[in-house]
Amino acid sequence: MTTPLTVVAPLLESLGLSPARPLVLIDVDEVLGLFMQGFGDYAATRGLEMRVDKFALFQNIYRPGESQHIDAVEGKALFDAFFAGHCDQMEPAPGAIDALNRLSDHAEILILSNAPAPAERLRTNWLRKHGLAHPLILNTGPKGPIAAGLVAQTMHPTAFVDDLLGNLDSVAEHSPTTATFQHVADLRLRPHAPASERHPRIDDWAQLGEAIEVAVRR
């Protein structure tokens, strides 16, 4: 029998967050930031092009004039290079910064991003550049276990926002009292993104911010 991996969440107070306030966990790529746009711009510098016709990553990257997308090995190398040196060059999702600034009046904000470890410095710099002084945690794998460890430290309402149903389902499973919301920032991706009645899908940040505020002030 395989022993489940134990995820130890950092203490909220060690991150500068108060457990005496509601907690909102926010993803970065395609939630706070326009990842596909930024990644596509980087791919273009490598002689590649992005054609967004499915909810996928490497399967949307092509060599000009070719009909077959790049393979997983080349895609992973491109992905790693982007996060190691270029992930601070994407644009914020429209309305995201204003919404988080309003939410921070009522709740603690924690950025929970699945990204390679080398991205931590650049991702932190990107947040600061856009006036988001919230702490960042880099995670790998489903986000439910670490979210549960963070949520367990407060008796107040909590919320979680991600673009991927896998992460939303994971948080709902491990922390069922947490309000979950799906947001897909890229206009090209939205028609292809799977949705679920389990998690409200709100792609407008003004409306999403209001829904989160209602959830954590209940």
Domain shared by 147 and 63, yes or no? no
User: Average pLDDT over the chain, rounded to whole?
Assistant: 95
Instruction: Examine residue 4 and state whether it is found in any structural domain, yes or no.
Output: no
Instruction: Examine residue 120 and state whether it is found in any structural domain, yes or no.
Output: yes
Q: Give pLDDT tens digits for 104-127.
A: 999 999 999 999 999 999 999 999
| pTM given for the model | 0.95
Domain shared by 167 and 212, yes or no? yes
Torsion angle (degrees, nearest 10) of CA 86, 28, 34, 72: 60
Give the mean model confidence (pLDDT) for residues 39-44.
97
Instruction: Examine residue 132 and state whether it is found in any structural domain, yes or no.
Output: yes
DSSP 69: P
Domain shared by 76 and 172, yes or no? no
Domain, as residue range, for 76: 36-89
- For residue 137, the domain's CATH number is 3.40.50.1000
Domain count for the chain, please give it.
2
Instruction: Examine residue 68 and state whether it is found in any structural domain, yes or no.
Output: yes
* pLDDT given for residue 8 in this prediction: 85
The amino acid at residue 95 is G
Strands (DSSP E) found in the chain: 23-26, 49-50, 61-62, 108-114, 136-139, 158-162, 179-182
Domain shared by 23 and 116, yes or no? yes
pLDDT category of residue 6 using cuts at 50, 70 and 90:
low
Give the mean model confidence (pLDDT) for residues 20-33.
98
Instruction: Examine residue 52 and state whether it is found in any structural domain, yes or no.
Output: yes
